[in-house]
Amino acid sequence: MRIISLNAWGGQCWPSLSAWLREAGADILLLQEVTRAPQPSPAWLSYRDAFRSLDQRADLFADVSRRLPGHQAIFSPAARGTLQDESGRDVASEHGIAAWIAPHLAVTAIASGFVHGSYRADGWGEEPVPRTAQAFRIEGAGASLIVSHLHGLRDPAGKGDTPARRAQAEAMVALLQGLARPEEPMVLAGDLNLLPGSESFGIFARLGLTDLVTGRGHSDTRTSLYPKPQRYADYCLVTPDVPVAAFDVPARPEVSDHRPLVLEVTGGS
C-alpha cells in the first residue's frame, strides 16, 4: 500500500501536479493546502496577504478528485474567505486539507477535528490560521492501520516551539487516541511546520510515533521553488508495528514547493 503526503501549495504547480497524480500510484493521498470552491469559480484565483501573493486553483479538491475518479475523497475545511479573480473580484473559497483513498480500501472509521483554533467562516484572519487534522482506519482481513495527517500551524516568526504548537501536538495525540484501538499501528504525516528538534516529536512519541524523514537521513523536504535556507517542514511518523517496506522524499518531479513523502507499507487490502 502506497501512502503519499504532500503540501500541494494550493495547486500552484497544477500542470506538473496533475500529470504526477496519474503516475504516483497513491492508494492513500494526503494533501495539505487544498482549496474548495463553494460556488462556481474560474479555474484560477489569487490569494494575497501581508506575507505573500499566490496564484491558486479555485477548486483543487475537485481537480484532484477528477484525476482520481475512483478514490474516496474527504475534505476538511479550516476557513472560508475570499480569493480574487483576474479582474480583482472577490470569490468565495475554502481552505483546508483533504484525503483520497483508493476504492479497494475499506475505510471503517474517520476522525476529523481542529488541532488549532476553530472554523473561520468570515475570512482568513490573522496568522496563525486554524488547522485541521484527518485520521482514518483502513481495515482488511485481520489487520488495520490508522493513517492521519495535518497541516501544522504557520507562525510568521518561524518554526520554533511555541505554546500554540505544543497545544497543537497535544490535540493531535488526543484525536488519535480517540480513534485508535490499543496497540493499533499508526501513521502521522504532513507539513508540520516544525524543526527536527521540536518538543512536538516528544509528545508524538508518547504514542510510539517516530519520524522517518530525519530517521532515514533525509535533510530536505522542500523543492527548488522554495528559496529559503530552512529545508525541513514535512514529516512522516510511524509506530514500530507499521510494516514499512520503503520510504522516500523524492526531489523530482517538482509538483509544489514541498516534496512529497512516499511511504510503502507491506500489505493492505
Quote the pLDDT of residue 268. Answer: 61
Residue 263 pLDDT > 60: yes
Q: Over pLDDT 70: what percentage of the chain? A: 99
Work out the end-to-end distance of the chain between its first and last CA atoms, rounded to an integer number of angstroms. 8
- Residue 197: name the closest of 187, 183, 211 by CA: 211
Quote the pLDDT of residue 142. Answer: 81
Quote the pLDDT of residue 216. Answer: 96
Q: Mean pLDDT throughout 70-85?
A: 97
Residue 235 pLDDT > 90: yes
Which of 21-35, 49-63, 180-194 has the lowest average pLDDT? 49-63
| Sequence letter at residue 15 | P
Contact yes or no for 214/234 (Cβ under 8 A): no
pLDDT tens, 92-111? 999 999 999 999 999 999 99
Strands 53-57 and 2-7: unpaired
Sheet arrangement for strand 2-7: 53-57, 44-48, 72-84, 90-101, 28-36, 2-7, 261-265, 244-248
Q: Mean pLDDT throughout 222-238?
A: 95
Q: What does residue 227 show for φ and ψ, rounded to 5 degrees?
A: -85, -10
3-state secondary structure of 60: helix
Report the chain's C-alpha Rg in angstroms.
17
CA dist 188 and 72 (Å) reads 19
| Residue 258 cell numbers, joined | 514541498
Prediction pTM value: 0.96
Q: What is the DSSP string of 123-179?
A: ---SSSPPEEEEEEEEEETTEEEEEEEE-PPP-TT-SS--HHHHHHHHHHHHHHHHH
Residue 266 pLDDT > 80: yes
| Mean pLDDT taken over the chain | 96
Which of 23-32, 58-67, 119-128, 218-227 has the lowest average pLDDT? 119-128
pLDDT tens, 108-146? 999 999 999 999 999 998 888 999 999 999 998 789 999
- Residue 267 pLDDT grade (very low, low, confident, very high; cuts 50, 70, 90): confident
CB contact set of 97 (below 8 Å; sequence gap of 6+):
30, 31, 32, 33, 34, 75, 76, 78, 132, 133, 134, 149, 150, 151, 190
pLDDT tens, 33-77? 999 999 999 999 998 877 777 899 999 999 999 999 999 999 999
Residue 87 pLDDT > 60: yes
Quote the pLDDT of residue 269. Answer: 52
CA dist 119 and 129 (Å) reads 9
Which letter, b or e, does each residue of 158-186 get, where b requires 16 or more Cβ atoms within 10 Å of its Cβ? ebeebeebeebbebbbebbeebbeeeebb
| HSE toward the beta carbon, residue 224, CA cutoff 13 A | 4
Quote the pLDDT of residue 69. Answer: 96
Domains delineated in the chain: 2-265 (3.60.10.10)
